[in-house]
Structure 1
Amino acid sequence: MKDVFAEAQRTSAAIAFVGHNAAEFLPLRHGDSIVVNGTPRPTKLDSIARGTVDPHQLQRWFDAGAAIYLHPWLHAKLIAVELANETHATVIGSANVSQHAQNDLEEGTAVLSIPTSSRPCTAQSSNGSTKLTP
């Protein structure tokens, strides 16, 4: 998976939960975007308040220039990547971006590559999402 992200020109992701080391597994930068499970105002059910979404990782991505969106019911695990070699890769799987998913769980992931001339898949969730701002 790190090979895909090393070649990424732009990344768009929808990943429900992100752990304390998420930026190591999914390096996001200016022009990239991610939707995670969460709400702008903490509640007892909010993933950020419960610790299943690490706010420090969100800040790290935000500081790198990525757009961060919060969706209260998101459970997706999808990443769309534009690659330098004129293809798009779509990563579909069961894993969240966390050390627990990386090291402890049995997860499944498929990486699909398509030429740029095909219609690219992008991960977005506009219905019910809130853009995170400083």
Structure 2
Amino acid sequence: MGTTFHGPSPWPHITRAIRTRGARYAAIGYLGQDAPELLPLRAGDLLVVNASKAAIRAHATSPAALSYYLNKGVRVLSSPTLHAKVIATSTRAVIGSANASENSTLADDAVVITDDPDIVASVRTFIDGLDEITEVDQVFLDDAILEWEIGRAVPLPGVTGRVRTDTDFLPTPARRMFVKHAVDYEPTDTEQQVLDNQRGRHSTAGGPVVKYQLESLRLDTRGTLRRGDVIVFVDTGDEWIHPPAVVISDPMRIPRSGGAVLFFLRTRTDLPPVPLTDAEKALTDLGHPGSRLRTDHYVRSPSLRTAILALWDL
């Protein structure tokens, strides 16, 4: 392979280069919510990131990304002074300017990828020598979620400034969207206990008016839903389309339910439902006469996903 330079859009090359056997070691300054797609780490890998309160509050490092890696068995550490972006596999090193975030995919970033064993060893030595390290565990993650929710997206030095303030609860971009009929059901005692516990962990005392709330979705089978999916619920009885909800959990099996699972969703409290007929007309005017809002389906068209979110100016 030798040594190669990649820019201004290096992430496809980085992602491909680190798909190797053996443990990977990464020190990446900031992680966006879409970091797992760019930086596919697995159990046995090590990730050092700047997950300081300042980085979390500024929405430069996403607790959702941290949670994803922890659930995958990646050892995650936080260093509040980290600004480097380097990765070492058993045979390759990546050195450059790219954070693992959508902002980086929009910026003019650049990296060098090399199989020079001396450089690979030097990157490992650099990562092993980082200090002021804190282990990211569930307690750390719970605190990070609270910091994220009371913070706001602001530019940080060295981080691209294309930020989203009013849509920061949505994945960027929203690549997977589903339209589903809203169905009322009474949660079981087990479901309600889990939901109450989760709501308690995600609430904040005092501060600004709560902007987000936690909801639940019960499905008889796991299906194809996953973290980051956007769901738009439609009530065809009362003729409303509800604002988008984002899946923020893996499926949790419900005991004694015959295989049913529970997902947690995050919604915005300040977004009202829209009359269904008004939504259909608006989408038709935007060139989507076949929006199929009255049928459960996966929204494949990127332009239709954009038009649906635009119903709430998202």
Please state which band the TM-score falls in when normalised by the shorter chain.
0.7 to 0.9
> Which of the numbers 59, 62, 69 marks the counterpart of 1:54?
62
The question of whether the paired residues in 2 share the 8 Å contact of 1:23 and 1:60 is answered with yes
The question of whether the paired residues in 2 share the 8 Å contact of 1:35 and 1:68 is answered with yes
Q: Which residue of 2 aligns with 1:101?
A: 104
Larger helix percent: 2
Is the counterpart of residue 112 in structure 1 residue 120 in structure 2?
A: no
Pairwise CA RMSD: 1.9
Letter in 1 for 2:74: A
Shift in alpha-carbon separation, 1:8–1:62, aligned structure 2, 3 A: same
Q: Which residue of 2 aligns with 1:34?
A: 47
List aligned pairs for 1:64-75, cutoff 5 A.
64-75=72-83
> Which of the numbers 63, 70, 76 marks the counterpart of 2:84?
76
The question of whether the paired residues in 1 share the 8 Å contact of 2:32 and 2:65 is answered with yes
Q: Which residue of 2 aligns with 1:14?
A: 27
Greater shift after overlay, 67-76 or 5-14?
5-14
Q: Which residue of 2 aligns with 1:5?
A: 18
Letter in 1 for 2:80: P
The separation in 2 between residues aligned to 1:49 and 1:66, in whole angstroms, is 23
The separation in 2 between residues aligned to 1:20 and 1:8, in whole angstroms, is 25
The question of whether the paired residues in 1 share the 8 Å contact of 2:93 and 2:119 is answered with no
Letter in 1 for 2:58: R
Unaligned runs of 5+ in 2: 1-13, 139-314
The question of whether the paired residues in 2 share the 8 Å contact of 1:17 and 1:36 is answered with yes
The question of whether the paired residues in 1 share the 8 Å contact of 2:85 and 2:97 is answered with yes
Q: CA deviation at 1:38?
A: 2.2
Letter in 1 for 2:33: H
The question of whether the paired residues in 2 share the 8 Å contact of 1:18 and 1:54 is answered with yes
The separation in 2 between residues aligned to 1:119 and 1:91, in whole angstroms, is 8
Give the % identical residues: 29
Higher-Rg member (1/2): 2
Q: Which residue of 2 aligns with 1:128?
A: 132
Letter in 2 for 1:108: A
Greater shift after overlay, 4-13 or 48-57?
4-13
Letter in 2 for 1:130: T
Letter in 2 for 1:99: E
CA deviation profile, 1:36-82 (whole Å, cap 9, x unmatched): 1123xx4xxx2112210011001000100001111111101010112
Shift in alpha-carbon separation, 1:72–1:11, aligned structure 2, 3 A: same
The question of whether the paired residues in 2 share the 8 Å contact of 1:15 and 1:97 is answered with yes
The separation in 2 between residues aligned to 1:95 and 1:133, in whole angstroms, is 25
Compute the TM-score of the two structures, normalised by the length of structure 1: 0.82
Q: CA deviation at 1:24?
A: 0.4
| Greater RCO, 1 or 2 (C-alpha within 8 Å, sep 6+) | 1
Q: CA deviation at 1:29?
A: 1.0
